[in-house]
Amino acid sequence: MSLKRKIFISCKDATLLTCKKQENAISFKERIQLKIHLFICTVCALFYKQTNLIHEQFTKMNNESHSSSLHVDETIKINLQQIIDKEIEK
């Protein structure tokens, strides 16, 4: 592989490396390649920034106790309680 190809990677590879970096699964060499690519390619830099944002959002959603927007129907609750009570008595 020529030196040029070692240093300059494609947008396809750069976005893949972005994904790897976001999961801390990037090697030192890949990190350098990504850095150089992002420096010269604004489109991939945008991908990097936006997917980081999506990432943060997932972390935030996972940390918030799951919004209790749904409630179990009363009839299901009563049924389930009966099953459990019966099982305990056994």
Partner 1 sequence: MLNPKNWVALYADYLLNYAFFRVRDKVLAEDLMQETFISALKSQHTYNGTANEKTWLTAILKNKIIDFYRSKLNKYSKLTDSIDNDTNNDFFNADKNYHWFESKQPHHWNNTDRAIESDEFNNALSNCMQKMPEKLATVFSLKYIDEEATEHICKEVGITSSNYWVMIHRAKLQLRECLEKNWFNI
Q: Which is nearer to partner 1, 28 or 74 (CB)?
A: 74
36 binds partner 1 (CB under 8 A): no
**Per-residue tokens: 65:** 């106790």
Binder among 4, 28, 67, 75 for partner 1 (CB under 8 A):
67
**Per-residue tokens: 45:** 């830099």
Q: Are 29 and 58 in contact (CB under 8 A)?
A: no
Alpha-carbon dihedral sign for residues 9, 14, 16, 20: positive
Q: Are 35 and 41 in contact (CB under 8 A)?
A: no
46 binds partner 1 (CB under 8 A): yes
**Per-residue tokens: 27:** 């090697």
Task: Give least dist CB 72 to partner 1, A.
Answer: 4
Note the residues at the interface with partner 1 (CB under 8 A): 10-13, 15-16, 18-20, 23, 25, 43-44, 46-47, 50-51, 53-55, 57-58, 61-62, 66-72, 76-77, 80-81, 83-85, 87-88
